[in-house]
């Protein structure tokens, strides 16, 4: 919504401005999501030659991010300065100063026409008029009630800059996995349990890299609480993370004779939802969830004998692959760099299901390693482009 406003005490350039009596008429259509007709009326009979500079209040938002986005949207459509003024709980988008009444009217008409012809036309919604006292009129064939705003106020704008956006996101970070403490396999002996089992301790998961790409939709609303939500399809690649531990033969600590190394990579495809919780200036904390599928691939198993131990024939477990249900939870912080770019940093907890090897060699040909359910802690930074 465009307000042609007379300069008031709470607008910038007060040393330059004179009183301007211009007002806009908004004709609300009967269909909620249809684009209404807008007519611009003026009453300039009393203006004197001393009235030399004018402003247009183009919108008033409770969310600074929406005001910034609207400012950027308008900046491609006019060469006049566009500023954001913060008064009370509102961020007002102001165009000007403009030197003459005629130029002011021309700018307003041009902007309205361009906004309606843009690929992302504005969305208009009814608002409560409890903050103002509108005049009720009927104009021409339009049968709706129209509100004539004689004075721009700190009201939530009828104009919202395109609530729905597409987005693409690219991120990277580091992750560290964790799982159960021990794996066991049959050792082929005829000893009674537990001597018939070899134990493979899981002492450490190394750090690994993480790459993320996602795309989807972002919804926004002009409010400090829950200002934005993103629903998307996310792909993540978790780079190789090694598992290290010791091999205890016959489940007897006196026969802890070998160390081993084993690891793998993971590809995840997730449906993710991210909800911004609160907007304060450029910052907005968020929470996120995701569910999908994890494709886990493990590499070749290797082991080494401790000093003084004669090396055995290695089980030489082959690489394996599994597909598992996966889920994640996250929290973090967004920074609104400008109207189109978001920077984010956050923490993720992920569960990627199980890691399994292929079968072993020789006497281990009927056995394999199973790392159990694997969780991950990850730190992720990302950049999001909105369009």
- The DSSP element (H or E) to which 247 belongs, if any, is strand 228-248
Sequence-distant (≥ 6) Cβ neighbours of residue 76 within 8 angstroms: none
Provide DSSP, 120-186: S--EE-----TTS-PEEE--TT--S-EEE-SS--S---SEE--SEEEEEEEEEEEEEEE--SEEEEE
Place of tokens 């994890």: 294
pLDDT value at residue 116? 60
Distance (Å, whole) CA 255 – CA 251: 8
Provide the pLDDT confidence category of residue 133 given band limits of 50, 70 and 90: very low
pLDDT at 37 over 50: no
Domain ranges of the chain: 3-160, 164-386
pLDDT value at residue 149? 30
In CATH terms, is domain 164-386 a member of 3.90.600.10? Answer: no
Distance (Å, whole) CA 155 – CA 26: 15
Residue-level length of the chain: 387
Whole-structure pTM over 0.85, yes or no? Answer: no
pLDDT value at residue 38? 28
pLDDT value at residue 230? 96
Q: Stretch 182-211: mean pLDDT, rounded?
A: 90
The radius of gyration of the chain's CA atoms, rounded to the nearest angstrom, is 32
pLDDT single digits (tens) 273-325: 999 999 887 899 999 999 999 999 999 999 999 999 999 989 999 999 999 99
Q: Stretch 219-241: mean pLDDT, rounded?
A: 90
pLDDT value at residue 22? 30
């Amino acid at each position: 919504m465009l307000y042609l406003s007379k300069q008031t005490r709470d607008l910038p350039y007060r040393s330059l401005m004179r009183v301007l009596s211009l007002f806009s008429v908004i004709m609300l259509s009967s269909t909620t999501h249809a684009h209404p007709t807008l007519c611009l009326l003026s009453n300039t009979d009393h203006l004197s030659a001393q009235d030399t500079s004018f402003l247009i209040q183009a919108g008033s938002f409770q969310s600074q991010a929406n005001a910034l986005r609207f400012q950027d949207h308008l900046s491609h459509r006019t060469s006049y300065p566009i500023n954001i003024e913060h008064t009370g709980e509102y961020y007002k988008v102001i165009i000007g100063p403009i030197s003459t009444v005629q130029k002011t009217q021309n700018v307003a008409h041009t902007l309205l026409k361009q906004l309606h012809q843009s690929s992302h036309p504005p969305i208009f919604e009814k608002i409560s008029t409890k903050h103002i006292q509108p005049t009720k009129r009927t104009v021409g064939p339009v049968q709706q009630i129209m509100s004539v705003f004689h004075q721009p106020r700190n009201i939530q704008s009828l104009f919202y800059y395109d609530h729905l956006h597409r987005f693409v996101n690219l991120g990277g970070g580091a992750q560290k996995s964790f799982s159960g403490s021990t794996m066991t396999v049959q050792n082929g002996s005829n000893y009674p349990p537990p001597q018939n089992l070899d134990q493979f301790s899981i002492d450490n998961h190394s750090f690994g890299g993480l790459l993320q790409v996602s795309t989807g939709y972002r919804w926004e609303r002009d409010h400090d609480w829950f200002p934005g939500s993103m629903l998307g399809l996310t792909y993540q690649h978790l780079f190789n993370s090694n598992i290290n531990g010791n091999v205890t033969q016959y489940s007897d600590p006196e026969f802890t004779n070998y160390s081993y190394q084993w690891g793998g990579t993971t590809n995840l495809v997730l449906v993710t939802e991210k909800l911004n919780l609160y907007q304060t200036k450029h910052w907005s904390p968020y929470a996120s969830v995701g569910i999908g599928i994890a494709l886990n691939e493990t590499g070749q198993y290797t082991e080494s004998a401790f000093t003084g131990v004669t090396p055995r024939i290695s089980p030489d477990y082959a690489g394996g692959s599994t597909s598992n249900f996966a889920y994640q939870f996250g929290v973090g912080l967004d920074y609104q760099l400008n109207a189109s770019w978001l920077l984010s940093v956050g923490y993720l907890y992920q569960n990627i299901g199980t890691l399994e090897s292929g079968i072993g060699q020789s006497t281990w040909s009927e056995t394999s390693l199973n790392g159990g359910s694997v969780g991950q802690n990850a730190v992720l930074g990302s950049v999001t482009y909105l369009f």
